[in-house]
Structure 1
């Protein structure tokens, strides 16, 4: 990444610099940060623009997951997921859908926020995942149910997965 040194005097020519920091995909969410700096020769001032583009939400979703296929020692990419919240009558209703990326990562709650004290369910479609890799699995799906006590915190819910077992925990 090249950076042109800009002195404190405003020159009569235009200097333009663009730095793309990073593109990140978390499930269906793509984030790109771009910094643009331009000096205009006629108006003789500096324009600085910082642009973040994404398909909804924040840079780091408040709820993330990471699926690791422990039997093969690789990330569990391409696993369909559904995030649900428990309603007052005890039934779960869908909030969002997503798919883990090639690194087995996904993020949720980009268009809404956590509700304090609410109970959530994260559904993983392990049956289709195992079929896609030619493996017969014992668990057709995994449901992880958890409570959000502090909506200001980030919640990470990893899933360690194999054809005949799984484990989960609250990550960081």
Structure 2
């Protein structure tokens, strides 16, 4: 099943852990869905569901190059600019979830966390759950890529060798 987001003109794979048990699932268990960044991007590109053309959702690096950490309207941290991150847009705007920190940086705010997964299945939100974006970090840390935590609405970057989850989108 897929879910179309008209605001982003993107179609999302409805199962946010569809990679679990696939040949790309190379995390601590071969059935948990966690993958390195290269495995996650290859998994999305190999999907043929609904005609193919899948990828990981991207991140637009806004402001200064690299992570501009903040609690409101940046590309890195909490309450990021949702126009540059489909994962953040889905979490905050479409599903109405709240970050751990409010826009002034205070936390925890009441009602924070993944409270609404909408029509999606297996949208995980435990402490160790992050979803890869399809965007590598372009600065000195060329071995890193952007990710989004569904536990607390946090966007940052990590080593591409880390094991995170993947959800696929297509135009």
User: Whose strand fraction is larger, Structure 1's or Structure 2's?
Assistant: 1
User: Whose helix fraction is larger, Structure 1's or Structure 2's?
Assistant: 2
Q: Which has the higher relative contact order, 1 or 2, with Cα contacts under 8 A spaced 6 or more apart?
A: 2
Task: Give TM class, smaller chain.
Answer: under 0.3
User: Looking at CA atoms only, which structure, 1 or 2, has the larger radius of gyration?
Assistant: 1
* TM-score (normalised: structure 2): 0.25
